Amino acid sequence: MKRLLNWFRLRNLESDLDRELKYHIERRVSDLMLSGLPEPGARRQATLELGGITQVQEEVRDIWLTQWLRDFAYDLRFSARAFLRSPSFSATAVLSLALGIGATTAIYSLIDQVVLHALPVHEPQRLVLIDWKGDGAGVNAFGSYNLMPYPLCRDLHLQDQFFDGVLCRAVTTINLSTSGDPRLAAAEIVSGTYFSVLGVRPALGRLLTTDDDQTPGATPVVVLSYDFWKAQLAGAPDVVGRKVLINKHPMTVVGVAARGFHGIDVGEVPSLWIPAAMSAQAIPGFNGMLDHRTFWMQVLGRLRPDMTLAQAQAGLQPWFKTMLDEDTRRAGFPAITPERRQRFLASTLELTPAPQGHSTLRRRLSQPLWVLFAATALLLGLACLNVAGLFLARGSAREREVSTRLALGASRGRIGRQFLADSILLALAGGLLGVVLAPLAMKVLIAFLPRDAAANALQSVINTRLLRFAFLASVATGLLTGFAPALQAGRRSLISSLRERGGTARGGLRLRRVIVMAQIAFTLILVVGAALFIRTLTALLTKGPGFDTSSLISFGIDPASKRLLVVRSRGSFAAFMTKSVL
């Protein structure tokens, strides 16, 4: 145990050793100087006598670690041999741990992708989401959450005592044609500050700047995402300068964004970025870019390094108040009731940390995901208990082996560690199998999510972060599983157990009772949870949407077909549809 502690306290030991050696050198130097040596010479000789300080440190470090590791490796070998001798026991244990670890890893992967993963940009922790709190008296709003008008974003960008910069963005779907047939593509309409505020670099050419975002309609340029460039344009090196058609408007590709940058929303991966100045072209029929009452963009800011969130939020309010006042006098301010006007004037700006960017998917999924994670953690806990129970049963069968080892002089700690090695080895095997199973579980989970949101955003791949999680989960599982049996090891008095000649297994009876009780409790929670879930699901399925859905169809129009329909009136559209469907 002491060595295990040593391992964790290595840093502490280091400084200790450092001090110890320094003391030695100082003493030697002063002794040598007393005998007439000048200081530099004395110092050199003192170091030389030690054979080099680094060498000594290395050697001592080796002593700390190798002993422990060597013993542990020996334990693992012994455990592996024991497991191979009882394959059915091992298979049961590994399989139940694999299920637990695999499920937990799968859910964690989704949580990691949706909730935890910070944007691959410069200092993501300084990003904040700026949101309008109150009644914006908007006449026009589309998009999802946290919407703001574009002019406000421009004004906020000028508040440079709080922000290093402010960006805004909106997602849309455009009709894109690069060379052949047009197809639908996700695009992000962004302010000219977008890339510079995020600190994203180009992989090719240049990115959008504020110059691209001055006069509406004057700068037909786009930046492609790295993945789109690689997948759809085969990574063509001469892509910069090419023309693409966006909703039939020609625009020039000026660059490709850095690899790994997928916009700021995990749920909406854009193929390209269009400056807000071209929003009228990117969103057919839209001309609200400069309108103060059209809410359509999310605004994110980068706080100055010396600014806290609270300071910035408090500091912004007076300025915001003045702006609200101005707004009411502006032409085009809607005629609203005095009551609503009051609410409008009481609006404030709200800042929230946004190192992970903005995501509607996260809003919708983070809570269910955490619930699911808790449920799988419970499942893993159950697997631990199962295996711990198995271990205890096996432990009683091994009583004689343990007694013999004790009689031969093994310490109880040594035997306890052997038991821990057993469980850790099993858990690692289970973890390995779990990681193999996890992508399967992830695919199933992603298929369960609403298709539009999750399909292209979430991936069922194992990355290093996930492997690290699975490894930690396995080790924790192993420690948890082995803890009870290890404590139980060698509890009984040596003489009585040797005398008993393979006798009855009484050891750990109370412990096993506790484990069985915990198992029942855990299982009950899970069964009740699952039953409730199934009931809700069936209820929803039988209830339907609340109206008669027989012989109703839903449809979308595919713009890839060349015979694009020009709709002149609602009547002609209905006539066309009737003709096509019937």
Partner 1 sequence: MPSSRFPIPQGTLDMLILQILSLEPAHGYGIAQRLQQISRSVVQVNQGSLYPALHRLEQKRWLRSEWRPSETGRDAKFYSLTSSGRKQLKVEKECWARLTGAIQLVFDEDN
Residue type present at position 101: I
Q: What does the angle CA 178 – CA 458 – CA 236 come to, to the nearest 5 degrees?
A: 25
Binding piece for partner 1, criterion CB under 8 A, among 59-67, 75-83, 524-532, 570-578: 59-67
Beta bridge partners of 173: 186
Residue 211 engages partner 1 in binding (rule: CB under 8 A): no
- Exactly one of 9, 12, 27, 530 binds partner 1 (CB under 8 A); which one? 27
Q: H/E element holding 22?
A: helix 10-34
- Pick 21 or 233: Cβ nearer partner 1: 21
Residue 280 binding partner 1, by CB under 8 A: no
User: For 167, phi and psi rounded to 5 degrees?
Assistant: -125, 160
CB 104 within 8 A of CB 377: yes
Asked if residue 60 binds partner 1 (CB under 8 A), the reply is: yes
Question: 323, exposed or middle or buried, with CB in 10 Å at 0-12, 13-18, 19+?
Answer: middle
Query: Residue 361's CB: how many other CB atoms inside 10 A?
Result: 21
Contact status: 18 vs partner 1 (CB under 8 A):
no
CB-nearer residue toward partner 1: 410 or 453: 410
Does residue 56 bind partner 1 (CB under 8 A)?
A: yes
Q: Minimum Å distance from CB 432 to partner 1?
A: 33
φ, ψ dihedrals at 122, nearest 5°:
-70, 125
Q: Name the segment binding partner 1 (CB under 8 A); options: 51-59, 165-173, 199-207, 417-425.
A: 51-59
> Does 319 participate in binding partner 1 (rule CB under 8 A)?
no
Instruction: Assess 9 for contact with partner 1 (CB under 8 A).
Output: no
| Interaction of residue 412 with partner 1, rule CB under 8 A | no
Indicate which single residue of 14, 24, 323, 345 sits in contact with partner 1 (rule: CB under 8 A): 24
- Does the footprint of partner 1 cover residue 401 (CB under 8 A)? no
Q: Which two tokens stand for residue 436?
A: 């193999």
Q: Binders of partner 1 among 62-91, rule CB under 8 A?
A: 62-64, 67
Can residue 21 be called a binding residue for partner 1 (CB under 8 A)? yes
- Amino acid identity at 199: G
CB of 69 to partner 1, least distance (A): 13
Residue 451 interacts with partner 1 (CB under 8 A): yes or no: no
Alpha carbon 33 to chain centroid, angstroms: 61
Q: Which is nearer to partner 1, 72 or 333 (CB)?
A: 72
Letter string b/e over residues 86-110, b meaning 16 or more CB atoms within 10 A of that residue's CB: eeebbeebbebbbbbbbbbbbbbbb
Cα 174 to Cα 416: distance, rounded to the nearest angstrom: 64
One residue of 4, 9, 41, 49 binding partner 1 per CB under 8 A: 49
28 binds partner 1 (CB under 8 A): yes
- DSSP designation for 124: G
The two structure tokens encoding residue 379: 């499942």
Residues touching partner 1, count (CB under 8 A): 24
Q: Which is nearer to partner 1, 22 or 506 (CB)?
A: 22
Which residues between 92 and 121 bind partner 1 (CB under 8 A)? none
- Residue 213 DSSP symbol: G
Task: Name the one residue in this structure whose structure tokens are 């006069």.
Answer: 215
Closest CA to 410 of 77, 71, 84: 71
Of the candidate residues 52, 217, 250, 503, the single one contacting partner 1 (CB under 8 A): 52
* Per CB under 8 A, 3 contacts partner 1: yes
SS3 246: strand
Stretch that binds partner 1, among 57-65, 103-111, 388-396, 476-484 (CB under 8 A): 57-65
Q: Which residue in 20, 211, 325, 452 binds partner 1 (CB under 8 A)?
A: 20
Helix (H, G, I), strand (E, B) or coil at 236: coil
Angle of CA points 80, 83, 85, to nearest 5° = 115
DSSP tag of 490: T
C-alpha 274/C-alpha 104 separation (Å) is 39
Q: Hey, CA dihedral for 320, 324, 329, 330, is it positive or negative?
A: positive
Minimum distance from residue 420 beta carbon to partner 1 (Å): 20
Question: Of 50, 80, 245, 324, which one interacts with partner 1 (CB under 8 A)?
Answer: 50
Stretch that binds partner 1, among 50-58, 109-117, 225-233, 476-484 (CB under 8 A): 50-58
Cβ proximity to partner 1, 16 vs 326, nearer residue = 16
- Find the binder of partner 1 among 9, 19, 491, 535 (CB under 8 A): 19
Q: In the complex, which residues of this chain contact partner 1 (CB under 8 A)? A: 2-3, 16-17, 19-21, 23-24, 26-28, 49-52, 55-56, 59-60, 62-64, 67
